[in-house]
Amino acid sequence: MRITHAVLSLLLISPLSWGGNMTFQFINPNFGGNPNNGSFLLNEAQAQNSYKDPSSSDFGYTAPSALDSFTSAIQSQLLGGLLTNINTGKPGRMVTNDFIVDIANVDGQLRLNVTDRKTGQVSTIDVSGLQNNATNF
């Protein structure tokens, strides 16, 4: 009986000891690993990177405040209204903290005079193609 137990235990233990050769496989695709691992490894490295380059610049960008965004939207809407009215012969003027914009229809040509209030420099923009049904003011 003792021999049958020994043979039976050898039969049960032997499949556990059937092992194959251990093989090494690279994970990093730079060294011959699976190319599908590349983006995963890069994302993991970037997530763990806490180094900030002291010489890098954020380009001095600061996000505009809600009030600045609202003011810009209102100014854009007013300027759009002025440009719409110019076809009916109504010249317009818009004054902001930075600029003075004068808009007129001169013989079917849109003329914008933009004055920089800080420097006093005037830029004139002429755009042709307006209908000449407006009266000049």
Confidence at residue 126, expressed as pLDDT on a 0 to 100 scale: 86
**Hey, is 59 helix, strand or coil?**
coil
Write out the residue range of the structural domain in which residue 94 sits. Answer: 83-137
- The model's pTM is 0.44
Do the beta carbons of residue 122 and residue 108 sit within 8 Å?
no
Q: Mean of the pLDDT values across residues 82-107?
A: 80
Tell me if 20 is assigned to some domain. no
Tell me if 68 is assigned to some domain. no
Cα–Cα dist 72/50, whole Å? 37
Confidence at residue 137, expressed as pLDDT on a 0 to 100 scale: 46
Confidence at residue 122, expressed as pLDDT on a 0 to 100 scale: 92
Tell me if 105 is assigned to some domain. yes
Do the beta carbons of residue 114 and residue 123 sit within 8 Å?
yes
Confidence at residue 103, expressed as pLDDT on a 0 to 100 scale: 85
Q: Which residue has the tokens 């060294």?
A: 31
Domains in the chain: how many in total? 1
Tell me if 7 is assigned to some domain. no
**Hey, is 21 helix, strand or coil?**
coil
Cα–Cα dist 104/91, whole Å? 5
Above 50 in pLDDT, residue 21? yes
Q: Mean of the pLDDT values across residues 105-114?
A: 82
Confidence at residue 11, expressed as pLDDT on a 0 to 100 scale: 66
Tell me if 127 is assigned to some domain. yes
Tell me if 108 is assigned to some domain. yes
